[in-house]
Amino acid sequence: MADYKMDADHPGLAMDRGVQGVLGAGLDRSEGALKVSGAARYGYEHRVEGDVAYGYLITAPAAKGKVTGFDTDIARSLAGVIDIIVDDPRIPRQAAAFGPAHAGNDEIDHWDQVVGVAIADSFEAARDAARAVVVHVTGEVGKFDTMANVADANPPPKDSRLQDVAKGDIDAAMAAANASGGVTIDQVYTTPNQVHAAMEPHASVAVWDGDQLTLHSSLQILAVAKPVLAKAIGIPADEVRILSPYIGGGFGSKMLGPEAVLAAIAAQKIGRPVKIAMARAQLFHNIYRRTDTHQRIRLAADKDGKLLALAHDSIVSQCPDGGFMEPVALGSLALYEAPVRHFSHKVVTLDMVMAGAVRAPGEAVGTLALETAIDEMAEALGRDPIDFRKLNEPSVDPLTGAPFSTRALVECLDQGAEAFGWAKRAPTPGQLREGEWLIGMGVAAAVRINLLVDSEARVTLKPDGRALVETDMTDIGTGTYTILAQIAGEALGLPMESIDVVLGDTDLPPGAGSGGSFGAASAGSSVALACEDVVAVLADRMEAKPEDMTLKDGHAVAGNRRVPLGDLVGAEALVGKGKISQGSNAKTFSQAAHGAQFAEVAVNVVTGEVRVRRMLGVFEAGRILNAKLARSQAIGGMIWGIGYALMEDAVLDQRYGQFVNHDLGEYHIPSHADVPPLDVLFVEKIDRHANPIGVKGLGELSISGAGAAVTNAIYNACGVRVRDFPLTLDKVLAGLPEM
């Protein structure tokens, strides 16, 4: 096995010497035709042998209290009902993320909590039975308001990704700036509870064969889900197999939902395969949310615009024993130079569903506040927002002093300004008007920390000259099947049609999974390293050094010989294995991806309606593995940013702890009519310090800053600055001057 730990830059890979020309090319997704034709089967669609039963989750009509009993007689009497399971101690009380959820249904932790499951011969019968079960609850007074309970807030958990930082005296720095003719900003920005809103619901099919459990599901990180599921059910992990070849969106939510555990419990009890899909309304309360945030930003600058201090202090919420803390200030740590730096988080415990990772945890909501405050500071100083950001560009990590692995924020700002026509922006709000519409431009920086996690892969070169790539890595819609084939194709000199990729099966080598924008870097590096094993054997059989051998179009060329790969392989396939793991490079270098977001909006002077007219994102995310798929990822993130700026808000009924807009009809996300032409540019800098293949995360980077670019453009258009997200038209209208 080619086992590499990132304690130093990798000396070089076969894919770097490759001449096949597939790496980086904007190729179509290899599984695209299967998906658009309906041939790709997602978790709930999987067909299994046997008489399949259907489950529907039973939930509690309270947010806090104790369950005193169940009336199941009517439910059990309905036609087609097989069983009502409400007495199994393994019933999960919360969504499981990276560890088993608390089990048991005697205590109610949050509204609509799962307390059991109805099993029937049809989905409709199971649904009717679940709704016929009466859950008796002794209700208690719950806590649902973050700021009303802030006096009881706690510091970050000790194992949190982000701990509090205090470098210098922030209050003294603010006072000194004011006394010396500088400028200070001290504002609070708020974001609401948000949900993942993936189109595919959480769904699982459980099948038992003796003591062996097979789960067909839609899960992002199988190497984590397998032991968590095994522990929840009470069986050894080696008796569990999970298959998740296709995922219809997850955005951090599809770790292990209660439906997976209950499908396994039900199938075990009735001796038949069981399918369970969560209803959309159930997802809002039983799959973790992104917490609401209350962010105080303090900035101090001298009269020339140099930042003297930067503070980003946040209050977030969590359920009891939730563990995870939204790392709101994560992107702020090293984005701008300032000698005095202060970052803190406080966690308020509420009686709500667990708060967890939603796409771009930290930066997605943190940059909404920071990049709005940076815009406010630039205006107060009378400086162009781009020039102000460039003036405060650090040369090294301002918190740790570590050199940046790669950093091209200034290049992204400059290229974006030129391409977007920033010079045409009116510095004073309200200057450009088209009929009832005021026009404005906004900019924001984008940042996303770069991660690398353990990942393994196997690459087999067969006697017929075809290659097989295998790992339990998943494809969450990002194009994993395609980019792994491109990496192997470039390394082995094979066209794409000669490569097969198998993913999403825990019987395969444990991959990184999809999350944190680390999938391409981690899984891609393990595949590239596995190819090194194969190339070394091929070179030996060609009697050449690997670096002196060319692989192209299924042939090896060295010296005066050109040999088909199948001939070099012979009768027995060549198998290469690769493993990548993080090392000291993670501390030696400050690693993050950066970008610049630009937006143009129109604000209606009569109604306050906002229309985003165009956007441009310029991103530096290391090596671009596939130009088309990278652009698609970036566009998706920018659309997400539009939603956070203008629409997304899980509205909480403070009386009951219930989200009142718990469906896709009322939880508003951008539709086609809301999304303007989006353009994407890349500043490609291969980051050898980050991982062997030199890539950095992109999907979450493209959310960061997008919302702030929109809201900064709103201010430039009409002079209205709203700090309570999202900027719905009522909030904008309230600040518009009389026209």
Q: What does the pLDDT look like over 39-75, one tens digit per residue?
A: 999 999 999 988 999 999 999 999 999 999 999 999 9
Cα 718 from chain centroid (whole Å): 33
Does the pLDDT of residue 435 top 90, yes or no? yes
Q: Which long-range contacts (CB under 8 A, 24 or more apart) does 554-561 make?
A: 554/465, 554/493, 554/494, 554/495, 554/498, 555/493, 556/493
C-beta neighbour count of 36 within 10 angstroms:
10
Q: Taking the CB of residue 421, how many other CB atoms lie within 10 A of it?
A: 13
Is the separation of the CB atoms in 537 and 2 below 8 Å?
Answer: no
Number of Cβ within a 10 Å radius of residue 50: 12
Identify whether the C-beta of residue 667 lies closer than 8 Å to the C-beta of residue 652. no
Q: CA neighbours within 13 Å on the CB side: how many for 577?
A: 8
Looking at residue 471, its pLDDT comes to: 98
pTM (2 d.p.):
0.97
Contacts of residue 443, Cβ cutoff 8 Å, sequence gap at least 6: 375, 385, 386, 389, 413, 416, 417, 422, 596, 597, 598, 599, 709, 712
Q: Which of 254, 253, 248 is nearest to 195 (CA)?
A: 253
Q: Of 305, 284, 344, which is closest to residue 150 (Cα–Cα)?
A: 344
At 636, is the secondary structure helix, strand, or coil? helix
Residues 6+ apart with CB under 8 A from 435: none
Catalytic residues: 700
For residues 257 and 276, the answer to whether their CB atoms sit within 8 Å is: no
Q: Is 249 left (phi over 0), alpha (psi -120 to 50) or beta?
A: left
pLDDT band at 102 (very low <50, low <70, confident <90, very high): confident
DSSP state of 333: T
pLDDT for 737 equals 80
Distance separating alpha carbons of residues 40 and 49, to the nearest angstrom: 18
Contacts of 616 by beta carbon, 8 Å cutoff, 6+ apart: 416, 419, 420, 597, 598, 678, 679, 680, 681
Cα–Cα separations (whole angstroms), residue 70 to 75, 132, 136, 141, 590: 11, 11, 6, 21, 55
For residue 101, what pLDDT is reported? 65
- The pLDDT tens digits for 239-283 are 999 999 999 999 999 999 999 999 999 999 999 999 999 999 999
**Residue linked to tokens 């007689």:** 73
Place 160 in a pLDDT band, splitting at 50, 70 and 90: confident
Q: How far is CA 13 from the centre of its chain?
A: 29
- Chain segment 581-611, per-residue pLDDT in tens: 999 999 999 999 999 999 999 999 999 999 9
CB of 515 closer than 8 Å to CB of 252: yes
Query: Other C-beta atoms within 10 Å of 152: how many?
Result: 11
Residue 721 has pLDDT above 90, yes or no: yes
Tell me the mean pLDDT in the region 607-617: 97
H/E run at residue 710: helix 706-718
In the chain, what percentage of residues exceed pLDDT 90? Answer: 96
- Can you spell out the DSSP letters for 644-686? HHHT----EETTTTEES--STTTS----GGG---EEEEE----
Residues 175-191 have pLDDT tens digits of: 999 999 999 999 999 99
Nearest to 322 by CA among 350, 358, 282: 350
Region 382-388: mean pLDDT is 98
Backbone angles phi, psi at 148, to 5 degrees: -70, -20
Is the alpha carbon torsion for 246, 252, 258, 261 positive or negative?
A: positive
Structure tokens at 510: 């444990």
Query: Residue 417 and residue 386: Cα distance in Å, rounded?
Result: 8
The residue assigned the tokens 């310029």 is 618
Angle between helices 627-646 and 363-381 (to 10 degrees): 70
- Non-local (6+) Cβ contacts of 22 within 8 A are 485, 486, 489, 490, 495, 496
pLDDT at residue 290, as a whole number: 98
Give the residue from 324, 330, 325, 326 showing the smallest Cα distance to 312: 330
